Structure 1
């Protein structure tokens, strides 16, 4: 298993609006395509206006195939264009994490 760790930093005052839109529209589409939703976390201490999304995949090939199918979905295209029009996201960082040999996901 690999884990995709996505960090988004938002303009102040925009996280709550994005969270509502994501929960109502984006997450259902992503669950349909991406499968293993591990969680979404919101910063409380440290860099504020930050969220972390974590998804699990069987492999990089599995991730690539699932994300390609999602990008081709008209519902996703509509959702993501609405997200960009919010002008809320300042930065996005994506990491692919491999489990240590003793990790439960290894």
Structure 2
């Protein structure tokens, strides 16, 4: 099992607009291909212009296959176009995490 941990930073004052755009146009299509995220959360302290989401995959091949299907979906491409037009995002940081030996997720991937 691997976890895809993503942190995004929005321009100050735009995070609520960005998350609304994603909720309206991106979340359902992304969930269709990637499954439900383990976590999707806005930062409450520190950089309050950022948010994090974590997706779970069986392995790197599963991640690659699901993400390729997402990228090929016209609905996802339409969302990416809307997001780029809005220009709310400043940066993105991705990390692939592997669970430690004593962690067990009580959820099917």
TM-score normalised by the shorter chain: which range applies?
over 0.9
- Correspondence for 1:56: 56
Q: TM-score, normalised by structure 1?
A: 0.95
Q: Distance in 2 between matches of 1:88 and 1:74?
A: 21
Question: Secondary structure of 1:93's match?
Answer: strand
Give how far 1:36 is off.
3.6
- Correspondence for 1:90: 90
Q: Distance in 1 between matches of 2:47 and 2:37?
A: 23
Q: Distance in 1 between matches of 2:91 and 2:44?
A: 18
Give how far 1:48 is off.
1.9
| Residues 36 and 57, structure 1, Cα contact 8 Å, conserved in 2 | no
How many equivalent residue pairs?
Answer: 106
Unmatched 5+ residue regions in structure 2? none
Give how far 1:25 is off.
1.5
Q: Distance in 2 between matches of 1:54 and 1:29?
A: 16
- Correspondence for 2:31: 31
Q: TM-score, normalised by structure 2?
A: 0.93
Give how far 1:86 is off.
0.9
Q: Distance in 1 between matches of 2:45 and 2:37?
A: 23
| Residues 29 and 76, structure 1, Cα contact 8 Å, conserved in 2 | yes
Q: Distance in 1 between matches of 2:68 and 2:6?
A: 17
Please give the root-mean-square deviation of Cα atoms over the aligned residues, in Å.
Answer: 1.3
| Residues 9 and 49, structure 1, Cα contact 8 Å, conserved in 2 | yes
Q: Distance in 1 between matches of 2:16 and 2:38?
A: 20
- Correspondence for 1:16: 16
